[in-house]
Chain A
Amino acid sequence: MEAKLQEIEKRKTYLDEKSLKSWLFTLDHKRIGLMYLFTSLVFFLVGGLFAIIFRTELAFPGKQFISPEVHNILFTLHGALLIFLVIIPLIPSALGNFFLPIMVGARDVAFPRINLLSYWLFFTGAVLLLLSLLFGPIDTGWTFYTPYSANKGLNVFIVSLAIFILGMSSILTGMNFIVTVHKLRAPGLTWGKLPLFVWAIYATSLVQLLATPVLGITLLLLGMENLLGIGFFDPAKGGDPVLFQHLFWFYSHPAVYIMILPAFGVISELVSVHSRKPIFGYWFIAASSLAIAFIGFIVWGHHMFVAGMSPIADIIFSFLTYFVAVPTAVKIFNWTATLYKGKISFTTPMLYALGFISLFLIGGLTGLFLANLGTDIHLHDTYFVVGHFHYVMVGAAVFAFFGALFHWLPKMFGRMYNEKWAKIGWFFNFVGFNLAFFPHFILGIQGMPRRYWDYPAEFQGLHFASTVGAYFIALGALISLAVFIHAMFKGERASDNPWGGKSLEWTIPSPPPTENFEKIPVVEEGPYDFVKH
């Protein structure tokens, strides 16, 4: 056994090169993936810290320790940082960059240099976003609704420039992945044999590619509105604030599908591998990813039912929004059916996957209330909406990320995490999450508006519970990240295929060598054929 360990230690891996230059100017998709991962995790903690601060403020009515202006800045930064710097790039750019080329059987993405450029654009955008604090922190909310965000001067312009650059990075990553999946598949790897994670990342890249430019132009116009006063969104100059909302949500609704589609891909992998059973309804899940990606583009109006649109538009958008519920439901049924007659092992990734399904179910079903023309008038812009998108973003996307992180940790670093502590982290995350965000639904139904620094006393109990929940999430997240950091360096050696997965990434040593495969494999069997050994 000792010799075997020696031999493993000796193997060349993508992590061997230690110099700073080899990291900063690497063309290796795996290293770029890790750089995205660690940059996003830093902002994940920063954004989480902002949430803890204003959640503590909201524990009791009246002013505790921060003023309304500071509270508004905190929730704006919480939204902007976590959306643009964490939840959009986390699974597609970090884990997608690392595993898509391997799962597709390629040595690297189609355009490695553009991949590096994407990371550095992402990094510049993130730094610029932080620098904007020097020009006076923004308090417009991550939605930048005009005219509130229209006559703010330089700081909104700097923030829109920063997000424009982040958008460029998102577009180039999307383009890179699409060409990789089309052009660099290993021989024999037909579309029908692609792992569902690749399908999900492909659908996400399509949405990233086609939706982000509209955000680019919207923020450019907002910047010009601030600097030159072009008046597109300023009623005094003939513009229309609702037009800004149209252009903004044309990007931002597909953006929520950029956040959730990769999570769907991860869950399809986890559920199938950890119950050692082929995924149920492969083609239906793959097709539903593409269906969601497309329908996501025609439904943005449900954010604006009470914003001043005409009744005809309200009805059209509500009707179209209901179509998106069908592919999502199909996915949930197929994941549940995958568990039938499987050999389910309760590893941490599987716990996160099961947590994902039930939490995403609540997130998805509460969406039905908000797409509904009647109830949305009562529930729009209340805490019900806050609960809905936190269940979908944190309950689903972040849980899927943690599941994927622990699922692929052995492959990325060749080391195994500490199962007990990872489960403790999961427990705090799950309990804390429900305690933090379920009260939001009740608050919203009772009419508590969102983005409030202070609230009438009758809402106090639920807010207190939510704050306690927030602290639990913080604890759970810190434990999980500590387990991850510890395992990266000091976790004991993991085998090349600890979970017995069948997709290509489990056929190469872990941590993988720089060129992934000595010889590009010829693929015969599908990614989930557990039976044929």
Chain B
Amino acid sequence: MKNEHKEHIVTPPVYIAVALALYVLTVVTVWVAGIDLGKVLNTTIALLIASFKASLVALFFMHLKYESKLLWFMILIPLILLVILLALPIIDVINRAGYFGM
């Protein structure tokens, strides 16, 4: 249960490749922000790109890719809670008759 499996060492070329990808994606986010695709689509695309960048950081920089399955399962729980914490208040606010100030 505490066997010290040889830590998988991620080599610098992988790190540099990931960093370059992140730079490119940042430029893409800024560029996409220039085009107006309607209120809902803008935010979803921005969040999608940001989530993709975030997963790159998590998988490679934080070595999540090489961690045990247990940690993968454990990460799901806070992510689900985060979605609930964001989704339910929005559902409530959207359907209110008069938002805040009628």
Contacts of B85 in A (CB 8 A): 214, 250
Within 50-102 of B, Cβ neighbours of A (below 8 Å) are at 70, 77-78, 81, 84-85, 88-89, 91-97, 100-101
A residues near B95, Cβ cutoff 8 Å: 310-313
Distance in Å: Cβ of A450 to nearest Cβ of chain B: 24
Give Cα A243 to B93, complex, Å.
Answer: 9
Closest chain B residue to A312, Cβ basis: B95
Q: What CA separation (Å) do A203 and B1 show in the bound complex?
A: 21
Say if the beta carbon of A337 comes within 8 Å of chain B: no
Which B residues lie at the A interface, using CB under 8 A? 1-2, 70, 77-78, 81, 84-85, 88-89, 91-97, 100-101
A-B contacts, CB under 8 A, total = 51
Given known A-B contacts A182-B70, A312-B91, A240 and B81 have beta carbons under 8 A apart: no
Contacts of B96 in A (CB 8 A): 308-310
B68 to chain A, nearest CB (A): 10
For residue B78, which residues in chain A have a CB less than 8 angstroms away from its CB?
Answer: 210
CA of A311 to CA of B95, assembled, Å: 8
**Complex-state Cα separation, A313 to B93, whole angstroms:** 9
Contact A243 B89 (CB under 8 A): yes
Name which residue of chain A comes closest to B97, CB basis. Answer: A310
Give Cα A206–Cα B80 distance, bound, in whole angstroms.
14
Residue of A nearest to B99 (CB): A240
Contact partner, A316, options B1, B70, B88, B94, Cβ 8 Å: B88
- Beta-carbon contact of A210 and B77 below 8 Å: yes
Q: Does residue A374 face the partner (Cβ distance < 8 Å to B)?
A: no
Nearest chain B CB to A230's CB is how many angstroms away? 15
CA of A250 to CA of B88, assembled, Å: 10
Whether A313 pairs with B88 at a CB distance below 8 angstroms is yes
In the complex, chain A residues 222-257 whose Cβ is within 8 Å of any chain B Cβ: 235, 238-240, 242-243, 246, 250
Distance (whole angstroms) from the CB of B36 to the closest CB of chain A = 25
Give 10 closest A-B pairs by Cβ, nearest first: A310-B95, A313-B92, A310-B96, A312-B95, A240-B100, A246-B89, A309-B92, A310-B92, A297-B81, A298-B84
